[in-house]
Amino acid sequence: MKESNSIVNNYRSSGKPQAQALPVEPAKITHNLLFLQKFFRHGTRIASVWPSSRFMARASISHADFSSARCIVELGAGTGPITSEIVKRLDARTQFLALERDPDFVQVLHNRFSASANMRILQADVGHLDSILSDQGIAPHGVDCFVSGLGTASLPESVRNAMFGAVKKYLRPDGFFSNITEVPLYYLNFYKSIFEHVSFQFVALNMPPGGVYHCRGIR
């Protein structure tokens, strides 16, 4: 997967457990304006007018156990609101991959998180998730959490099928998948058709208000 190697940050696949004080560059208004501009240019490919609020970002990782997780994969990281919350909680033994397709967003991620240990930022399309994870040395059932910021239900069907095929292959049996949404509950049946256990957490403090699907037991 050539794209997946285009930007790689200070990455360690293993290391001694240590308390991390990871430098995270705060989000800037210019990041938000870039996001808005991308939305007007690309619409549903970006799937949102504004980056997730910190309330949405925290909700999306509220089911993650950062002390036991050893591999976390973020899909559609954008300008990094969820990435930031993950990095702040990341254990030094945990491998973290953040995927984003848009090169300008990848550059923002690179600027904000370039000093973060045990993290890789990959410019890649989730349609190639299987080969991306394989290239990164992730074993089948080696991912504890997939945290998705994608407009998953509206991805092209072939991309969505390839992505969920890879999620099924790499997610631990007790692992979870979360997905933010700005259309509360609308896609509940969609996620229930893919996972055995799905719950929905409403998030009012977001622009616009939305929520998170928390999913376990991929079918």
Reduced DSSP (H G I as helix, E B as strand, rest coil) percent helix, strand, coil of the chain, to 5: 35, 25, 40
User: Which residue number, 19 or 29, has a Cβ lying nearer to ligand SAM?
Assistant: 29
Q: Give the pair of three-digit tokens for residue 144.
A: 């504890």
Shortest Å distance, C-beta 18 to ligand SAM: 27
- CA–CA distances in Å: residue 190 to residues 110, 147, 160: 33, 17, 12
Shortest Å distance, C-beta 78 to ligand SAM: 2
User: Which residue number, 142 or 149, has a Cβ lying nearer to ligand SAM?
Assistant: 149
Sort strands 143-148 and 171-181 into parallel, antiparallel or unpaired: parallel
Residue given tokens 């996001």 in the structure block: 35
Shortest Å distance, C-beta 120 to ligand SAM: 14
Phi, psi (degrees; rounded to nearest 5) at 104: -70, -40
* Cβ 174 vs Cβ 166: under 8 Å: no
User: Which residue number, 51 or 211, has a Cβ lying nearer to ligand SAM?
Assistant: 51
Shortest Å distance, C-beta 48 to ligand SAM: 3
The H-assigned helical ranges of 114-156 are 129-135
Shortest Å distance, C-beta 152 to ligand SAM: 9
| Contacting positions for ligand SAM (CB under 6 A) | 45-48, 51-52, 76-78, 81-82, 99-102, 105, 125-127, 149-151, 159, 180
In sequence order, the 6+-apart residues with CB closer than 8 A to the CB of 186 are none
User: Which residue number, 27 or 188, has a Cβ lying nearer to ligand SAM?
Assistant: 27
User: Which residue number, 131 or 217, has a Cβ lying nearer to ligand SAM?
Assistant: 131
